Structure 1
Amino acid sequence: MASGGAVVLVGPLGTGKTETMHRVAHALAERDVASDLIRGLARVPTALAGSGGLPVAGAALLVDDAHDLDPDSASMLIEAVCRQRVPVCFAVEAPTVARASSDPVTGALLGLASKGFARRIDLEPLGDAEARSFVVESGAGDLDDMTIETIVWLANGSRALLKELAEVAREASADGRDPLVAVRDVPVWARLADTVHSHLAGLDADHLRTLVTVHRFPGLASAHAVRIRPQHEIDALRRGGYLHREESHTGSLWANPLLAQGAARILGAAQVDALVGSAVSRLLEGGGRWWSPPIATGLADLLLRGGALPAPAPAHLCQRALRDAARRNNDDGRWAAAEAYAAMGIAGAADDAGLQLELAHARVSAGEPSAGLRLPEILSDEEDRARALLLSATWGVRGYTSRAQELRSALERGASGPEDPHVTFALIDALGLSLEWPEARDAAHDAARATTGQWRLWCWLMEAYARGELADAEGAKRLLTRVDEDVIDGGTPGLTTTDRLWILMVELATHLVLGEDAPPIHERIARERRRAAREGNDRVLGIAGLAVALSAAVRGESDAAVRSLDAARARFAPLRQDMAVAGVKLWIAQFLASNGRTGEARAIAERVETVWSEGPLSLRHACAATRSIIDALDQRNDEAARALRGALAATTSRQSPMRRARDLYRGVALDVLGEEALLEIRRLLHDGRSPLTHALSHPPHRSPREGTVRSAFLGTLIARTPSSSDASAAASPRPGSAESSSLTRRECEIATLIAAGMSNRQIADHLFISVRTVESHIYQARGKVGAGSRRGLGEYFAGHAIGA
């Protein structure tokens, strides 16, 4: 432009066209080139003093929102560009979804570039990584990972939406409210609502209807979506980022809820109701030949409200819809709604086993286990049996043992034979909870050979974990590779995002049992985190938050781990009563303690013990072992010894070599056990090949720089190399060595500030970077020098001047 040329900036709304125009104006001013900035809504002859009907020569013209120019003004400016009378920069909005009708002004402006009269520059929406950085840089970096990931999804690459969403979320978090609830419930008068409305201007009425329909039926299978909305509209919205398609055999669809709610306001309640009625009618017209649980839930809503149905509905389809709605709400923790659906269904079909199960589960989960429950006498249907098995396990661990036994009795009466996978799976689980790992390994191995699909996948996973507990690293990793091939390559249909997250957590826990980290699993958890944000229900957000917290804790990002765990607990309350979740929380507590966060680790462990003090043996052992780690790292050696004796008692008569070997080694470090403990460790691990086998078979090293107890306890979490900060002073690398020279300047700065006693927040403020960036640098630096913890990294650099 400074040399007289013309430019056409093209990009969707929110890609930074206006910001770019202001930067261009500043850059021109630095080159002593005058410029005028006008909006496309202004009439050019009025906005500028011209001669001969054209802008004044010698000044550059910046036209924002040029697509809104009136035809006369557009013609004037196009003529000026063609005659090279004035340099002009046009900012033109390119809708993410094609407009229903042609726009002659936009077409003419784009024609300047295609005909060589102007240079075209396309501005793209922000990618996910760029959007996350944008949120952090906008001052919202202290939000939990799931909130940031959800904001990125809702903004759809728009800087304008990102800015507004981050502001709303940050204010909600500061007020102690869930930021995701705040961005979901946007008042129509809010600035964010205005921004959303402007981002929907490029959609015609048909696209708005399709967006609203998919949002009204979250998780709608692609094959069912095309029964109720045109394929080309679905494809266009997917390309524009308004819809997300799950990578599964069903291709479930999820709509951007923020934009879908804005679309619903534009259409109005009457049109939205008509869309729901039309979808339900299609389902009913099929007579059950095709069935969509999300649409069935829409039918259940109509039945519950008592409104007129859009088409005749046979009784058996109504019962099925109410059962599906009750199950979905039970799974999402909305027990009052689940009870309402199930109770209505029971009124018309008192003997429906599925409805009986959902009504019972809603009342038991709400704390009313004796509120007139009627359980099925016999369970023979495959789907009902799978559901009952899950519910009986859930009730049992929550203390409702008599109700759980009633369900198990109904399962036994309806068993089809000894090879019933439901009963087999429960047996494997029970063996593991009792620390009978050889029996659990063998039972899972046999069951995997007799089953297929998801059952076989979970059996492989349980066998891998059992082998990890038995120190069989090669066998465990071989099975985990098989699991990964099935999950990643899509060989096992029907896996949900929640299923995949649990698979990854069990895989990571198996590696931790063996004493090693697994970086690829952290990357896969990050990918599933993105999928969870797009699905957006409380259950998947809670499970994803738990997985993210575990990953962050293991990687040494303690602030992120605490934020994610707190958010997960608040978003999905049933996490507090889930036994598997309790085990994950204890792992998180151990790694938080290893990074000097013993206060938060203790709070997590105490909450788990409050709920699970009478839980199964494996969980009682994990609680005692975690307490011993936290107390030892908090320099409470007497309390650590008492907790450790409790952990050792749990494994005295059990074949659980990895757990017992760790406890014995910690006992030696605390001086409550002697040489005989090391001999027992060697017997336990004599043919094992886990990464910790070698380390646990030798006495704790007496380091002059670091307490023996702390060093030994850290060494039982992740196996470390001889260059670890917990090794001897002679073996430790020093600044200037090959190990330390691999650190970046920023990593050295952060390490020295840790040694000076600064927290991550203080370091972030001192260096003018985000806490998340500090945590990332710490994780990278620890890996380079072999430090087992944040504190170990600081102690490694203590007293040394780090040169540039």
Structure 2
Amino acid sequence: MVGRGKNPRRLSECLMAGRSVVIVGEFGFGKSYLASAVAELLRAEGIEPVTLLGLHRDGTTALGGSPMAGGLDDALRFIDERIEAGHPASAPPLIVQVDDAQTLHPRIMRRLTGIAESGTATLLLTSTPVALGSASDGDHRYDPDTVRAINELWIERGAERVDVAPLTAREADELLSQVMPDAVFDTVSRALIFANSGGSPQLIKELAAAVHALDPNESPIAAFSNLPAQSPRILDLLQHQLRVLTERQLTALATLHVTGPIPLGVLGAAATRGDLRVLSQHGFIASDYASTQLVVPGALFAGAAFEIADPDRVHQVTGAFGEAILRDVDHLPSPAQAMAIAGQWGYDEEPTALAEWGEERVAEVLLAAASGSNRLGEYVRAERFALRSRRLHPSVLADVERSRSLAQRGRQRSALTVLGEADVRGASAPELARLVIWWAELAVSLPDADAELDRLFDTVTAWVDAGQAGPCLAAGVAVVRANVMGDPETAIHLGETLLRDPTADLATRIVAGCLTALLLCHTGRCGRALDAIDVLDSLIDDISPATVAFGSVDYRAKVRGTEAVIRCTAGFDVGLAADSMVELLARPDALDDRYLLAAISMVAALVALHEGDDARATVELRSAQQRLDPYDIAGWRPWMLVQLALVSARRGDASATRRKLAASVGRITLEGQHAWFAAVLAFIPGEGADTRTERDRAVTLMLDQDDPMGSAVGAWGMFELFRLGAQTDRIVDRLERVASLTDAPLLHAKAAYARALIDTDGGRLDAAACRFARMNAFGLAADASRHAAVIHASLGDHAAAQQSRAHAERQEWRRASDQGSAPAPIVEVETAATLTRRELEVATLAATGRSDREIAQTLFLSVRTVESHLYQARLKLGVASRRGLAAALGVEPSA
């Protein structure tokens, strides 16, 4: 019998009933641990198993100091004396535990199976999977008779076979929930743990414990690569799994540690397709390499392989990879690949490959290496690479990378000087766009942002007048300048015009479009903001790899992060924001791209905030803060601090965050938001907290401003003030007025909730709770229901109070379950039968794991139409995720 039932108690009961057990699994996946757990249960029942370890075929070397260390003859004698002759016939069957049974000499294996067949003993064996008729597993060769005897034991003689296979991502999450129920991991950390575990339960546990022990302010990404050095246990587990590899496979994996992700065709020089299959099957590289044509290593496995592989062989293969990449003139090396190649050239002397490859190609590699070094925080190295690239082949992109390296080392003025002195003659539109975008980002980070943006605008205008740049660049700067100057309407007008200008370069259109969409959202026009996202999606498909490779941002991630903000602000199908996060994580290079990870963390934080999961929101916000580029036009860092302070205040621990927020809130300039955020800060408790008089003054200052009228950000600020204690008619009046000028259903529900609470109207609070629940704002739904229950009880309506309490409990459960698939008691949830034919079709495909784009292609629909059908299906079924859809429709979800 074959099964995956890994319950130790069930297996111990099989053995006590006289039925042998064979546990099969690769190195490092816990088969020995499972066998040990079974043995412990047997000891608890008074049965002491006889423990043996496998011998190599020559019978001379024991694995781990077994009683059979004397060789084959001593081993056979031990079996005769200790098991056959030494065990009384009247006693219960003896249990013999053998680890790595596939390494036994065939005579020993046959003797043991014969004893088991006679009923004298029951066997508990562990073995690596060796196919029938095969005598090898990677570099390890086993006697075919031994393999045949093990297979006969479970095929013909009724032993229980249990396969210990790598865990799926979902099983890994379940394991973490079981072994560390009180720990909350951010999305990226969970992905890192799984991606670097190879699916090994033991390694998942060790990595999770190590990550959980990190300082909360320390980035898991930065710390992850150091875990093997800090934890010998983790290194042992990694290298234990690598035992299955041949020398060639080990060298290929070690080389990937140096180069990072590499094109499939390049790796073919050092590894066969069979080698890649083995690496993929064991989780050492991403499993989708054949479809993506990109081989992405598990970072920790590649690092562990590098530690034990032959360094000369790795150096040789790395050089071969570099030559293969350089020969492919149509292929732009990734930053990691370029760093590996350029690192072999040295820093101070001319590259030895200059004569062979030419100045332009070598400069291109050095430039990519500079970009990669900046991404990894190696700023001195980045400047060296950028300077050498510029010396060989002048390029404004080299100036950009050098400027970035200077700014990250605190030399912002020097960074601006480099940009101002850049020679833009002959630069392409995408290159100029990168320079101008970085210049704007850098300018916005400075105290005199207005003056620096004026200087930038004048410089770009001069380029346009001289015919060195197109007018779209000046328009892009004008969008940023208008926003910083507190003129959102001008910024929106210019941004929408630029976004739809087919003559403008893609990078400028995308950056301006994202800022415009945010401003539309901030001013309450969320529908128009999503229309802008539609345009941005169409532009993303046209971006060339070169545009992204030499850019400092991932444009697709920038668009997805912007869309998440809009959806979470408006309450427009927030589940789509969560789905976009999953799609971003599925990218082969996701875990190697800090900017992409920042977007993923930000989206996860926004979704957690919307759902009211403060514990998860806290870790996601901290994760996003650690990865966000400080030079960001949209000003995400102060906004994240405000959110973190609010969450901390709700959790009763806001002092530290309050201090950080107080130092940063002055930098918030988008659409005159300073007074709004300052008022929120005034109500956050902690050291140096404002007095009641100061709070009243802050609220008055906020309400007296005319600029944020009709602003979604203003409505958000007022609602948070209301929740923090500023529960006055004036606040609610303004909240209602602002919400009435927006098209965001979430803000309408917040205004209704505030009015109902001020008026102590339990019925309207119940209605607000239903509205929140339909938008999957579980925390707000539970809060509204709890307040409604108190009001109903005070009026003597205990039945209504009980119903409200039940609804609050259900919303809390939906939030805690992280599934959102359970219906709320007082919300009439429809069934699949009430879905339209198209809604059912789209929902079924989504439940099986298809992305929105894949569904659109399958059904010949637009992506936006698919999103609309999916939103209606989720709303009718009362679910928040694709997993919830699968449960509601009875569909088997994808792993």
What range is the shorter-chain TM-score in? 0.7 to 0.9
SS of residue in 2 equivalent to 1:187? helix
Q: 1:74 aligns with which of 109, 116, 119?
A: 109
**Equivalent residue number for residue 748 of structure 2:** 693
Query: Does 2:644 align with 1:644?
Result: no
Rounded to whole Å, the distance in 2 between the matches of 1:702 and 1:115 is: 69
SS of residue in 1 equivalent to 2:196? helix
SS of residue in 2 equivalent to 1:283? helix
Change (3 A) 1:347 1:516: closer
Query: Does 2:24 align with 1:10?
Result: yes
Verify the 8 A CA contact 1:538 1:571 in the aligned structure 2: yes
Verify the 8 A CA contact 1:448 1:459 in the aligned structure 2: yes
Shift of 1:314: 1.7
**Equivalent residue number for residue 258 of structure 1:** 300
Verify the 8 A CA contact 1:213 1:275 in the aligned structure 2: yes
Shift of 1:204: 0.7
Shift of 1:622: 5.2
Rounded to whole Å, the distance in 2 between the matches of 1:272 and 1:500 is: 34
Supply the AA of the counterpart residue of 1:111: N
Q: 1:608 aligns with which of 652, 655, 664?
A: 664
**Equivalent residue number for residue 756 of structure 1:** none
Supply the AA of the counterpart residue of 1:389: V
Query: Does 2:166 align with 1:125?
Result: yes
TM-score (norm 1): 0.77
**Equivalent residue number for residue 680 of structure 2:** 626
Verify the 8 A CA contact 2:251 2:310 in the aligned structure 1: no
Query: Does 2:499 align with 1:468?
Result: no
SS of residue in 2 equivalent to 1:255? coil
Change (3 A) 1:618 1:212: farther
Rounded to whole Å, the distance in 1 between the matches of 2:634 and 2:734 is: 37
Query: Does 2:93 align with 1:37?
Result: no
Matches within 5 A, 1:549-568: 549-568=605-624
Change (3 A) 1:727 1:678: same
Matches within 5 A, 1:217-366: 217-222=259-264, 224-226=266-268, 229-244=271-286, 252-286=294-328, 288-293=329-334, 294-305=336-347, 309=352, 312-349=356-393, 351-366=394-409
Query: Does 2:143 align with 1:104?
Result: yes
Change (3 A) 1:388 1:481: closer
Shift of 1:263: 0.9
**Equivalent residue number for residue 802 of structure 2:** 737
Supply the AA of the counterpart residue of 1:128: A
Query: Does 2:21 align with 1:21?
Result: no
Supply the AA of the counterpart residue of 1:693: H
Q: 1:580 aligns with which of 608, 631, 636?
A: 636
Rounded to whole Å, the distance in 1 between the matches of 2:754 and 2:306 is: 67
Change (3 A) 1:454 1:150: same
Shift of 1:730: 3.9
**Equivalent residue number for residue 794 of structure 1:** none
Rounded to whole Å, the distance in 2 between the matches of 1:234 and 1:690 is: 50
Change (3 A) 1:363 1:331: same
Rounded to whole Å, the distance in 1 between the matches of 2:572 and 2:107 is: 70
Shift of 1:91: 0.7
Verify the 8 A CA contact 1:437 1:656 in the aligned structure 2: no
**Equivalent residue number for residue 838 of structure 2:** none
Q: 2:411 aligns with which of 343, 346, 368?
A: 368
Could you give the per-residue CA deviations for residues 132-159 of structure 1, whole angstroms, max 9, x where no partner exists?
4444554595464244442232222212
Shift of 1:227: 6.3
Could you give the per-residue CA deviations for residues 718-775 of structure 1, whole angstroms, max 9, x where no partner exists?
7769954445844588797345346779969xxxxxxxxxxxxxxxxxxxxxxxx996
Verify the 8 A CA contact 1:149 1:533 in the aligned structure 2: no
Shift of 1:324: 1.4
Rounded to whole Å, the distance in 2 between the matches of 1:302 and 1:392 is: 32
The answer to which structure, 1 or 2, has the higher relative contact order (CA under 8 A, 6+ apart) is 1
Rounded to whole Å, the distance in 2 between the matches of 1:93 and 1:394 is: 55
Gaps of 5+ in 1: 749-772, 787-804
Shift of 1:200: 0.5
Verify the 8 A CA contact 2:480 2:633 in the aligned structure 1: no
Shift of 1:284: 3.0
Rounded to whole Å, the distance in 1 between the matches of 2:703 and 2:588 is: 39
Shift of 1:654: 6.1
Change (3 A) 1:163 1:727: closer
**Equivalent residue number for residue 850 of structure 2:** none
Change (3 A) 1:361 1:662: closer
Verify the 8 A CA contact 1:725 1:785 in the aligned structure 2: no
Shift of 1:111: 2.7
Number of residue pairs matched?
Answer: 749
SS of residue in 1 equivalent to 2:442? helix
Could you give the per-residue CA deviations for residues 694-730 of structure 1, whole angstroms, max 9, x where no partner exists?
7548984465989xxxx9xx99997769954445844
Could you give the per-residue CA deviations for residues 308-347 of structure 1, whole angstroms, max 9, x where no partner exists?
8478332222221121111222244432221121223344
Moved more, 50-59 or 498-507: 50-59
Query: Does 2:581 align with 1:525?
Result: yes
RMSD value, Cα = 5.0
TM-score (norm 2): 0.70
